[in-house]
Amino acid sequence: MALHINSGCFTVMGHSRVHRIRAVASDGSATTLKTVDDKVKLGGSDLKVSAIGIGAWAWGDTTYWNNFQWNDRKEKAARDAFNTSIDGGLTFIDTAEVYGSGLSFGAINSETLLGRFIKERKAKDPNVEVTVATKYAALPWRLGRQSVISALKDSLDRLGMTSVDVYQLHWPGVWGNEGYIDGLGDAVEKGLVKAVGVSNYSEKRLREAYKQLKKRGIPLASNQVNYSLIYRAPEENGVKATCDELGITLIAYSPIAQGVLTGKYTPENPPTGPRGRIYTPEFLTTLKPLLNKITEIGDKYNKTATQVSLNWLVAQGNVVPIPGAKTPEQAEEFKGALGWRLTNEEVTELRSLASKIKSVIGFPVEKL
């Protein structure tokens, strides 16, 4: 019996749209399969974020994404991507102090751009909703809890804000991790942030951070890690299971493997720049069977490979993907990953095919 999916009906509950997905069988009967909320609670915090967010790593960057070029045209594209994301309900935007200028030698800091875009948007629509997450760089010369507060205040200055929704440690430090976690707690108690998280944390460090914050009555809301259909290390190293156990949301960066799961790259047309050295023609050849299956499944739902790959992550539960959007077209496509859901059988089939591919990881390398 054939099933046709209709995800067009939804009801409004508070500030969150709840999509009731209907399956229509070949005999004309219909049944409601699942309910998909486009807002999710971030860990044990009181903060709700869009079920898919946007990563702003590429905004202002010239070292990895923009081939050493940044200009007015690329800034306009980033601005349009931001506005399209907000219009589409993807209101959770993730940035970091090292994205763009300064430590990563870019053209302009991503936080500065995001702050500019928010200010421009609020001038037209004062009630616009934007949930901002940024990150602290645990550099070797930064010591103790006060360094976290100092860096946060610098980030707030660049963003043009007095507080931020989510503040995260970008990676574990060489030393001083306890002080960094204390700094996150201080930021909450000073009212500078609503929720705190970590990034690139192993299971062991995740548990330690969770316990340290819990002593102060502060939840560890999130752990941001590299996670995609072809990079499933969080499933294999205990991080995903630990997040689920402790009620910590897993934020998935590089959820479409830096564009490789979109299907736009082939062995004859690999990515340029640093990504081309990671996702080689040989690797793209091994990826073909999986991409063919992703496309086949997408055709059933009238969805793209990108949307299927993002939906696969959402279907894992307790995962918020944050694909990077450099253009409004990308942002428009991302929102099509919500409002419907792959079946358990499709999720399993894609994982089975992906398990035959040797995982590769894009920059940055995190074996922490």
**Does residue 362 belong to any structural domain of this protein?**
no
pLDDT of residue 146: 96
From the list 197, 200, 162, 203, the residue with the least C-alpha distance to 180 is 197
pLDDT of residue 9: 36
Residue type, 225: V
Same domain assignment for residues 243 and 192: yes
As a whole number, the mean pLDDT across the chain is: 85
Q: How buried is 268 (Cβ within 10 angstroms: 0-12 exposed, 13-18 middle, 19+ buried)? A: exposed
**Does residue 361 belong to any structural domain of this protein?**
no
Please state, in angstroms and rounded to a whole number, the distance separating the CA atoms of residues 239 and 197: 14
Q: Is 301 helix (H, G, I), strand (E, B) or coil?
A: helix
Same domain assignment for residues 46 and 18: no
pLDDT of residue 70: 73
DSSP annotation of 30 reads E
99 is an active site residue = yes
**Does residue 289 belong to any structural domain of this protein?**
yes
**Digit-coded pLDDT (tens) for 316-332:** 999 999 999 999 999 99
Residue 24 has pLDDT above 80, yes or no: no
pLDDT of residue 80: 97
Ranges of H-type helices in the chain: 72-87, 110-124, 144-159, 177-189, 203-214, 233-236, 239-246, 274-278, 281-301, 305-314, 328-335, 344-354
Please state, in angstroms and rounded to a whole number, the distance separating the CA atoms of residues 196 and 180: 11
Mean pLDDT of 213-225: 98
Candidates 99, 167, 180, 279; catalytic one:
99
- Find the domain containing 89 and state its range: 38-354
Q: What does pTM read for this prediction?
A: 0.87
pLDDT category of residue 68 using cuts at 50, 70 and 90: low
Residues linked to residue 230 through DSSP beta bridges, in sequence order:
none
pLDDT of residue 2: 37
Residue 16 has pLDDT above 50, yes or no: no
Same domain assignment for residues 75 and 25: no
CATH number of the domain enclosing 218: 3.20.20.100
**Does residue 17 belong to any structural domain of this protein?**
yes
Same domain assignment for residues 289 and 323: yes
